């Protein structure tokens, strides 16, 4: 009886830890320099891979922040998630190379997240418009440089352990 009680307490503790972590929000931020040491941006999409995203328990957000040569109306990034274009962002600052980030947030539905995560990875691409330049990284006058940041945030589903099955396997409860 003592051995079964100790096993039961251990299983319950492990289950509690896994249930608590399984219902946590999924929040991941990925930051990249679209110049990547180059003197010019080539309109090659930057890929942001969000790995092992859990099943969603509700709607979420995708937040895009950019800093650099995005002052003019033609200077922006194109945002695509798993082949779906969400829109563009940038070109709304009166000055290039500000240290402040320009940020926008896209609401995303639980259904979209479920579809996007079907293969175990959510891929977001940001493509710079063809007139975005890297001069913000090349000058001492612009200490902040160019940066693109993508944040995915949503509530994860509770994938708790099937406790009744564990109890039966361990010989507790009804057989």
The pLDDT, as a whole number, for residue 7 is 66
Listed in sequence order, the residues at least 6 apart from 75 whose beta carbon sits closer than 8 Å to its beta carbon are 69, 90, 91, 96, 129, 131, 132
The predicted pLDDT at position 112 comes to: 97
Q: Tokens for 14?
A: 């492990």
Beta strands in the chain (DSSP E): 25-32, 46-51, 60-67, 76-81, 84-90, 102-108, 121-128, 147-155
Q: Hey, how many other C-beta atoms are within 10 angstroms of the C-beta on 143?
A: 9
What pLDDT is stored for residue 175 in this prediction? 43
Q: What pLDDT is recorded for position 105?
A: 97
- Residue 74 near residue 91 (C-beta atoms within 8 A): yes
Non-local (6+) Cβ contacts of 173 within 8 A are 164, 167
Predicted local distance difference test score (pLDDT) of residue 5: 58
pLDDT at 47: 95
pLDDT for the residue 154 = 97
Residues 109-115: contacts with CB within 8 Å, 24+ apart? 109/59, 110/56, 110/57, 110/58, 110/59, 110/60, 110/154, 112/81, 112/84, 113/53, 113/56, 113/59, 113/60, 113/154, 114/55, 114/56, 115/82
Yes or no: say if 155 and 56 are a contact pair by the CB < 8 Å rule: yes
- Note the pTM of the prediction, 2 decimals: 0.75
pLDDT of residue 116: 97
Query: What are the per-10-residue average pLDDT scores of the chain (175 residues)?
Result: 64 55 80 81 84 95 93 91 94 79 95 96 94 79 85 80 51 53
User: How confident is the model over 49-78, as pLDDT tens digits?
Assistant: 999 999 999 999 999 999 988 888 888 999
**Three-state DSSP state, 148:** strand
Taken in order 57, 20, 54, 123, is the CA torsion positive or negative? positive
């Amino acid at each position: 009886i003592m051995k079964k009680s100790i096993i039961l307490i251990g299983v319950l503790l492990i289950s509690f830890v896994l249930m608590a972590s399984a219902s946590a929000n999924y929040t991941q931020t990925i930051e990249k320099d679209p110049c990547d040491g180059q003197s010019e941006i080539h309109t090659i999409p930057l890929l942001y891979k969000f790995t092992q995203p859990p099943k969603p328990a509700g709607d979420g957000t995708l937040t895009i922040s950019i800093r650099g040569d995005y002052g003019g109306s033609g200077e922006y990034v194109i945002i695509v998630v798993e082949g779906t274009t969400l829109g563009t962002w940038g070109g709304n600052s009166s000055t290039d190379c500000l240290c402040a980030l320009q940020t926008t947030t896209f609401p995303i539905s639980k259904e979209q997240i479920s579809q996007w995560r079907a293969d175990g990875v959510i891929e977001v691409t940001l493509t710079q418009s063809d007139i975005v330049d890297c001069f913000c990284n090349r000058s001492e006058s612009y200490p902040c440089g160019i940066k693109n940041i993508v944040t995915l945030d949503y509530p994860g589903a509770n994938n708790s352990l099937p406790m009744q099955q564990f109890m039966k396997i361990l010989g507790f409860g009804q057989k």
